[in-house]
Structure 1
Amino acid sequence: MGQIQSIEELVSLLLRRRWLIILITLTGLLAAVVFAKSRPNIFETAAVIQIEGAEVAEPTAQAAQPDGGGAAQILQTIEQRLTTRDALTAMIERHNLFADQPAMAKDDKLFALRTAVTFQAVDSAGGQGFGQARSISAIIISVRYGDPQTAAAVANDFAQGILDQSAAGQRDRADKNVAFFKEEEARIYAQIATLESEVAAYKNAHADAMPTLSDARRDEIVSLSDDLRQATQDLVGLQGEQKAIVQKQLQRETDKRRLDEIATQTNVLNAQIASINARKADVETALAATPEVERVLAGYDRQLQQLQDQYNNVTQRMAEAETTQRLAMRQQSERFTLLDRALSPEYPIGGGKKKIAIAGTMASLLGAIALAFVLDLIKPVVRTAAQMQRQLDLEPVVCIPEIRAPKGRLGRAALRLIDDPKRPIFGLPRFAVLAVASMLALILMAAIP
């Protein structure tokens, strides 16, 4: 630290450079006050919107959430819509914002307005459960602007925009839900009708191989086998009798008539056997195709069951959507209400200008002290016995103090004016100059709101 090695030396430095420190500090104070006074006043106001629960419980899935559970998402959507470029431009034109700054660019105006508006959500007292959506109970719209009436008007305009969009958004969502579920109901019903037509056509095309007729077909095969066996036995008997008659050496007239009867019966039995074999083959073919038909019909049944489940679900959801639509039209669902309108603030937001003035004064004081220290370093002088012993390693024998000329009585010397026309201010007593400067500083500090 150069010559400053103790508290006494630091105090000595401050006393030696007191007028420089006071001058720089007062200059910095004046500059800080002027700068603080040149800054425009900023007024802040807020409008409060309360989120009220539904008067009638909605049957939809959203109703399972606590009050305000869906409001967080609605608020986020509305905030994004209200802060779009077109919405902010319309807001600026409606309230003639930044009219005192004609040279300000449009993008700068949009950025200034976007940063001046704050949407704050107040969480519900019930808290947020695990896996549940955020629950909010109120919304605070804060606006900062240089004019108090304009700040209140802009805050109320944003609040009214939230109210309008929330009500319109609920009705619009309810209408879209009803329209969507009606379209889904018609689409699924058409798919069910088409699939039922395909099932009917397939059943008609494979009527003999229906799984419900498989037992009857098996019984029929057994019956046909018995008939075929009996016909075959009868045919063998007739053939044996015919052979015996033919082997006779002498055939009578009755034998000839019997041969004719046997021939006729044989033809009939052959025809019956052929018919039985054909029917049996058809039944066996149909019975063999039954598993495939059963598999296809099971696939149709699964598709029909799925479509039926979808149809039932859509029908239920459509009924719920219609109920929600009626609640939205009557404004009996979850809704936003204006709890507190924004009022014109009487005073600007506090502390800004005074903080600037105080900070400028402190910075000036610290800068003045630093300058005094630098000046002392630039021109080092041995002033005390301790400095001499520290710098030169010599212990002084005698220390002669600074001798000043007597000033007479303190009161008269302090009040006596020095007649120096070239130095009108510095000719005054020093304490008077310091008192006037301190008084001006206090007046300026008190004038800052």
Structure 2
Amino acid sequence: MNRLSTLDEIFGAFLRHIVLLALIVAAGVAASLFYAVSLPREYEAVAVIQIEQAQVQAPEFGGSSSVNARTLQQLQIIEQRVMSRDNLLAIIEAENLFADVPDISDSDKVFALRLGARVVRVTDPALAWRPDIIPTALNITVRMGDPEVAARVANTLVNNVLAQNKNRREERAAEALAFFESEEARLGADIEKLETEIAEFKQKNGDSLNAGLTLKREELARTRQERLELERQIIELTAGNRGSRNTLVANRLAQLQEQAALLDVQIRQTTALIQVAPNIERELSALERELQRLTDQYLVITRNQAEAEMSLMLQASQQGESFQILETAVAPETPIAPNRKRIAFLGCILSGLAGIVAVVILEMRNPIIRTEAQLERQLGLRAVAVIPLVHVARERTWRRIFWTIGLLVFALATLAVLAFVSVR
């Protein structure tokens, strides 16, 4: 390449291979244009769903964070259901998509539609740092080769999102209401059963509980006092009639001893009742704590049931959080891809570079000394005489005609390419 050291030498090299350069550039431009035209067009249809907050705020279980988390989970479930295989296959069948590809499988159809369809959440950029922020809208975009089909598919997905949102919220409200109703019935039955058990327990152990226990203690004190009085009488009667065989005294003594034995039995029974009273109290306290626990659960379930009923009423009257169509998808007028102008422009540039590389390679493979400067630079010899190449008038005329026609053809081709790409 040191032979091409000046602009004149470089320009002369390109002039010598102008035909090859023109052929390479023409072939490259034609190939790039053909490639750009052969690429299938893609049209993007966009529909927007606005997420409206509830007009009447229903009571929610938990704080605002848990409410936002449930709403985000609800959105995720809706998106998954809309983009599910069965739903996409139904859309493909209804719109007769991919009919021009008879050998494509259902899985490939679903995969292709998932690539072309997207559900994008729109959130406030100022609150993007919050992981629990609720989106304000959903953008549904569909890319396809037919603008009308893309718009229809986008609107179908919008309708699916609305239907899934409505059905899902009604299902959740109905399921929650049914659950709370069943729990209310179960807890009510458990409470009634436990109340009956407590009543029977109190009736059975009334003497060892509260007022009954106080009476038993008073009764035990009286009985012990009576027992002491009988003991005193027995001692006096025995001491005053020692050695006597009086029948009346003996009968009285036997009577007093019999009464004392009965009082001893009564004292033992009353003492036993008083001793087991703490255990009875503990059992009763356990039953009452269980009753209080069930009662608290019943109150919570009743409150949640009322909230579920309110949520169901709001869904029925369409006063709860809802999705509204903000923009329906319309058939786009211009394709979003491919960028044929850019492809054609890059093809022209690459074609020119390929032609330049070809000229350089030919010059390197054929190292001929063509000028006096090259002779002196390459061999270190100075030419004695230089015979120039002289063109006659006819040759100069044909060269001018050739260059004029070439420039005109190049200009017309360039204009044709630009016009074609801009129109296409």
1:395 deviates by 4.1
1:262 deviates by 1.9
Match of 2:189 in 1: 190
User: C-alpha distance in 1, partners of 2:158/2:120?
Assistant: 12
Alignment of 1:23-422 (within 5 A): 23-61=23-61, 64=64, 71-124=71-124, 127=127, 133-243=132-242, 245-246=244-245, 259-349=246-336, 352-380=339-367, 395-398=380-383, 403-408=388-393, 412-416=397-401
User: What secondary structure sits across from 1:296 in the alignment?
Assistant: helix
What is the one-letter code of the residue matched to 1:286? L
User: What secondary structure sits across from 1:56 in the alignment?
Assistant: coil
Asked whether the equivalents of residues 70 and 133 of structure 1 are also in contact (C-alpha less than 8 Å), the reply is no
User: What secondary structure sits across from 2:141 in the alignment?
Assistant: strand
User: C-alpha distance in 2, partners of 1:194/1:6?
Assistant: 109
User: C-alpha distance in 1, partners of 2:288/2:12?
Assistant: 105
1:243 deviates by 0.7
User: C-alpha distance in 2, partners of 1:4/1:276?
Assistant: 143
Compared with structure 1, are the counterparts of its residues 3 and 216 closer, same or farther at alpha carbon in structure 2 (3 Å cutoff)?
farther
What is the one-letter code of the residue matched to 1:153? R
What is the one-letter code of the residue matched to 1:110? V
Compared with structure 1, are the counterparts of its residues 239 and 63 closer, same or farther at alpha carbon in structure 2 (3 Å cutoff)?
closer
User: C-alpha distance in 1, partners of 2:272/2:374?
Assistant: 127
What is the one-letter code of the residue matched to 2:313? R
1:433 deviates by 3.0
User: What secondary structure sits across from 2:320 in the alignment?
Assistant: coil
User: C-alpha distance in 2, partners of 1:64/1:84?
Assistant: 30
1:136 deviates by 0.9
User: C-alpha distance in 1, partners of 2:74/2:336?
Assistant: 31
User: C-alpha distance in 1, partners of 2:211/2:3?
Assistant: 115
Percent identity of equivalent pairs: 32
1:267 deviates by 2.0
Compared with structure 1, are the counterparts of its residues 370 and 307 closer, same or farther at alpha carbon in structure 2 (3 Å cutoff)?
farther
TM-score, scaled relative to structure 1: 0.83
1:404 deviates by 2.1
Q: CA RMSD, aligned part only?
A: 3.2
1:223 deviates by 2.3
User: C-alpha distance in 1, partners of 2:136/2:56?
Assistant: 18
1:67 deviates by 10
Does residue 1:440 correspond to 2:403, yes or no? no
Asked whether the equivalents of residues 4 and 10 of structure 1 are also in contact (C-alpha less than 8 Å), the reply is no
User: C-alpha distance in 2, partners of 1:294/1:220?
Assistant: 20
Asked whether the equivalents of residues 26 and 437 of structure 1 are also in contact (C-alpha less than 8 Å), the reply is no
1:279 deviates by 1.5
Asked whether the equivalents of residues 82 and 164 of structure 2 are also in contact (C-alpha less than 8 Å), the reply is no
Q: Which runs of 5+ in 1 are unaligned?
A: 247-258, 417-428
1:49 deviates by 0.9
Compared with structure 1, are the counterparts of its residues 18 and 216 closer, same or farther at alpha carbon in structure 2 (3 Å cutoff)?
farther
What is the one-letter code of the residue matched to 1:224? T
1:412 deviates by 3.2
User: C-alpha distance in 1, partners of 2:194/2:21?
Assistant: 98
1:442 deviates by 3.5
User: What secondary structure sits across from 1:243 in the alignment?
Assistant: coil
Asked whether the equivalents of residues 53 and 67 of structure 1 are also in contact (C-alpha less than 8 Å), the reply is no
User: C-alpha distance in 1, partners of 2:342/2:374?
Assistant: 41
1:371 deviates by 3.4
Q: Deviations over 1:328-353 (max 9, x none)?
A: 00000010111111111122125522
User: C-alpha distance in 1, partners of 2:291/2:385?
Assistant: 118
User: What secondary structure sits across from 1:245 in the alignment?
Assistant: coil
User: What secondary structure sits across from 1:346 in the alignment?
Assistant: coil
1:128 deviates by 6.1
TM-score, scaled relative to structure 2: 0.87
What is the one-letter code of the residue matched to 1:41? R
Asked whether the equivalents of residues 29 and 360 of structure 1 are also in contact (C-alpha less than 8 Å), the reply is yes
Match of 1:426 in 2: none
What is the one-letter code of the residue matched to 1:138? A
Asked whether the equivalents of residues 49 and 138 of structure 1 are also in contact (C-alpha less than 8 Å), the reply is yes
User: What secondary structure sits across from 2:244 in the alignment?
Assistant: helix
Number of equivalences: 421
User: What secondary structure sits across from 1:197 in the alignment?
Assistant: helix
User: What secondary structure sits across from 1:119 in the alignment?
Assistant: strand
Asked whether the equivalents of residues 33 and 357 of structure 1 are also in contact (C-alpha less than 8 Å), the reply is yes
User: C-alpha distance in 1, partners of 2:222/2:270?
Assistant: 12
User: C-alpha distance in 2, partners of 1:80/1:402?
Assistant: 84
User: C-alpha distance in 1, partners of 2:417/2:67?
Assistant: 53
What is the one-letter code of the residue matched to 1:136? P
Match of 1:254 in 2: none
Compared with structure 1, are the counterparts of its residues 316 and 70 closer, same or farther at alpha carbon in structure 2 (3 Å cutoff)?
same
Asked whether the equivalents of residues 375 and 382 of structure 2 are also in contact (C-alpha less than 8 Å), the reply is no
User: What secondary structure sits across from 2:99 in the alignment?
Assistant: coil
